[in-house]
Amino acid sequence: MKRHINSALVLALSLVSASALAANSKFNEIDQDNNGSISKTEFERHIGDRFFGKMDRNSDGMIDESEFSGTRFGGKLADFDRDGDSRLTQAELYNGLFEKFDTNRDMVLDKDEWKKVQSAGIVAK
């Protein structure tokens, strides 16, 4: 019986370790300068055109309220809309997202902040 419990424990720990390694691998892939944090530039580069393009369903280069609604970001388009034109440019979206997750306002995302980006479904885990 003890042997089965030990085997189950080893299996559970290896699954948790594999999950942590995968999360760190993605983080390390985005952290291009390997300084242990993701800068705003690295964040924008990773999110990239394909993310914005998926949201910009009519391909007009802007995200309007109908395109923004239903996203998993929490908040409203107006929370991201810096110029008040009711549409988001890439820069407005990326700045708003980055600021939302940079909770300590140090202009980089640490591993804990990055986990929140992943949990929000903005990037793949």
16-61 pLDDT per residue, tens: 444 444 457 889 999 999 999 999 999 998 887 677 888 898 999 9
CB of 12 closer than 8 Å to CB of 89: no
Closest CA to 88 of 61, 115, 114: 61
pTM: 0.71
Which CATH superfamily groups domain 2-119? EF-hand (1.10.238.10)
Given the structure tokens 């964040």, which residue do they identify? 43
Q: Which residues pair with 87 in a beta bridge?
A: 64
Please tell me the distance from the alpha carbon of residue 33 to that of residue 27, in angstroms, as a whole number.
11
Name the amino acid, one letter, at 21: L
Residue range 13-17: mean pLDDT, rounded? 42
Q: Which residues pair with 88 in a beta bridge?
A: 63
Rounded to the nearest 5°, which phi and psi values hold at 60? -95, 5
